[in-house]
Amino acid sequence: METIIINNQIILEGLLKAETRQQAFSQLLARYQQRIYFFIRHQGLDHEDTDELVQDVFVRFYRHMGGLNDTDDLEQVVYGLAAESIQQHFKAQPKSAWLPRLILLLKPQSFSFREFAGMLNIAVNEVKAAYQSNLSQSQK
């Protein structure tokens, strides 16, 4: 079977049309499910918890995809949902226990501090401080 690579804009266009929504959602899953699994798993969760959070990410995406518009960045939406799921999972722990690690995982995805802060509903300065703190610790 031939693999066809479809970019995010084509997937987004498919998600916006009722007649192509299911196929586009399948393409979204094919593109992001494994990435999100490893993104979440790197938070120190076991396989079962990771699977549960990944499922939660895509169920939430599916339920709210009617609210998408043609200017949305799919990668930011999906990783934002994953970050929110991680945040909810660790809500009993202080932010300082999980935020720096989450930032280091998201930073290679090329999200700005502002985008990341928006995903988690926290202040940009808090994101920057956690990132700098983590960099300082890793250089020791």
Tell whether 3 is covered by a domain: no
Split into its structural domains, the chain has a count of: 1
* Coil, helix or strand at residue 86: helix
Residue-number span of the structural domain to which 86 is assigned: 8-138
Q: What is the pLDDT of residues 14-32, one digit of tens each?
A: 999 999 999 999 999 999 9
CATH of residue 127's domain is: 1.10.1740.10
Q: Report pTM.
A: 0.79
Tell whether 56 is covered by a domain: yes
Tell whether 2 is covered by a domain: no
Cα separation, 5 vs 113, in Å, equals: 29
CB 40 within 8 A of CB 54: yes
Q: What is the pLDDT of residues 59-76, one digit of tens each?
A: 999 999 889 999 999 999
Tell whether 90 is covered by a domain: yes
Tell whether 44 is covered by a domain: yes
